[in-house]
Structure 1
Amino acid sequence: MRITGGSLCGRRIAVPDGIIRPAMDRMRESVFAILGDLSGKSFLDLFSGSGIIALEAASRGASPIEAVEKDPRKRSQLLRNVAISPVHIHCHFMAVELYVKRAKNSFDVIFCDPPFPYAYKKELLEAISTSPLMQETSLLLIHYPREEQFETPPGKLMLTDRRQYGRSLVDFYSLQN
């Protein structure tokens, strides 16, 4: 996989062992074009896998950055990949649900890319929306299968944008006023 923009544009990273569905180059490039310059913005990458999303954020100036991944088979490759970042990416190796439950800090941008078979997407978004992770200006993104499109926004969230990439969607949410 390659980083699609910013200071690390074109750098390739390895994909870790285990089950992984890396975010498509086209989708990542489009999403980060929508987000624009991330200089000085905090970024959280949930279900980090290879770390490509965190690296895309770092490449575009985000800082601080945290990545969360529970699969121990991905740990060593994730750490090798984020080592190329111009800023430190703090990696947490735990279940995303536990990370959300223990959260104390908020982030400007939260990117959630659960495995497509993950059955608790809506509940996870609800938990994030009521956690300290989100503040009034935070943006929460989720990448998920088109077939699972939410009828109504979960929790305290308001849908601000939706983009389709092949058989998947990326929804952009902010907190309702």
Structure 2
Amino acid sequence: MRIIAGTLKGRRLAAPEGSLAVRPTADRAREALFSILQKWPMGPFLDLYAGTGAVGLEALSRGFAPVTLVEKAPEALKCLSANARGADARVLAQDVRRLGPEAFSGLAVAFADPPYEAALEAWGLLGSRIAGWLAPDGILVFEAGAGTALPAAPGLEEVETRRYGAAEFHIFRLAR
């Protein structure tokens, strides 16, 4: 696994050996994600359930700043910390579900990639909370297993859905 483009291009990323607790977003899906993000404004980037940090560090490499990576699993956190070493990214060792409504503000992009089996529960807990963290022109990208339908969340409207193998990106903006 590596950073695909930008100032950190080619940087190798560590991942826990044989762990099912971490499922990094595949290079192909990350490349597609950042192609989609080109049409949205740059700015603060939040990576929830960051795992190895591949998505957040890719964002940093491509010019998003500041970048915050949130992860609680000790095994993933160890890799995340190693991968973020020397990069200008903030790592928060915290349970995403405990982040309050005031935790962030003015985000250009919030990216959430919970474990697929917990995606609907995470969406129910976080969807509208994340809406309060976005800048007026910010977006939320919620990764879930392919075919996962996300119910409406107050304050958000879905503008696009893209499928890449077993992953599906649901892209939301603030409701107008």
| TM-score normalized with structure 2 length | 0.89
Are the counterparts in 1 of residues 41 and 138 from structure 2 also a CA contact under 8 Å?
no
- Residues 163 and 37 from structure 1, CA distance in 2 versus in 1: closer, same or farther, beyond 3 angstroms? closer
Q: How does 1:145-156 map to 2 (within 5 A)?
A: 145-150=145-150, 152-156=151-155
Task: Say whether the 8 Å CA contact 2:147–2:168 is kept in structure 1.
Answer: no
Runs of 4+ in 1 over 3 A off after TM superposition: 37-40
Cα 1:8–1:104 change in 2 (3 A) is closer
Q: 1: distance between equivalents of 2:64 and 2:104?
A: 19
1:100 and 1:128 in contact (8 A); partners too: no
Matched, 1:35 2:37: yes
Question: How much has 1:52 moved relative to structure 2?
Answer: 0.5
Partners of 1:31 and 1:176 lie apart in 2 by: 21
Partner of 2:93: 93
Inter-partner Cα distance in structure 2 for 1:134 and 1:41: 11
Does the C-alpha gap of structure 1 residues 168 and 84 become closer, same or farther in structure 2, counting only changes over 3 Å? same
> Deviation string for 1:63-106 (max 9, x for gaps)?
11101001122222211101243xx1111111112124451433
Q: Percent identity?
A: 31
Q: Tell me which protein shows more strand as a share of its residues.
A: 2
1:142 aligned onto 2:128 = no
Match of 1:59 in 2: 61
Q: Aligned runs of 1:78-157 on 2, under 5 Å?
A: 78-85=80-87, 88-118=88-118, 119-123=120-124, 124-129=126-131, 131=132, 133-150=133-150, 152-157=151-156
* In structure 2, distance between residues paired with 1:113 and 1:126: 16
- Give the Cα–Cα distance (whole angstroms) in 2 for the partners of residues 111 and 149 of structure 1: 17
Figure out how many residues of one structure are paired with residues of the other and give that number: 172
Find the aligned partners of 1:37 and 1:90 in 2 and give their Cα distance.
25
CA separation in 1, counterparts of 2:39 and 2:90?
Answer: 21
Residue 8 of structure 1, CA deviation: 1.7
- Return the alpha-carbon distance in structure 2 between the equivalents of residues 33 and 164 of structure 1: 14
Q: Name the CA shift for 1:101/1:71 in 2 (closer, same or farther; >3 Å).
A: farther
Q: Secondary structure at the match of 2:30?
A: helix
Question: 1:49, 1:135 → 2: CA distance?
Answer: 25
Residues 3-82 of structure 1 mapped to structure 2, 5 A cutoff = 3-16=3-16, 18=19, 19-36=21-38, 41-82=43-84
Q: Secondary structure at the match of 1:136?
A: strand
Q: What is the TM-score normalised by the length of structure 1? A: 0.88
Q: CA deviation at 1:40?
A: 5.7
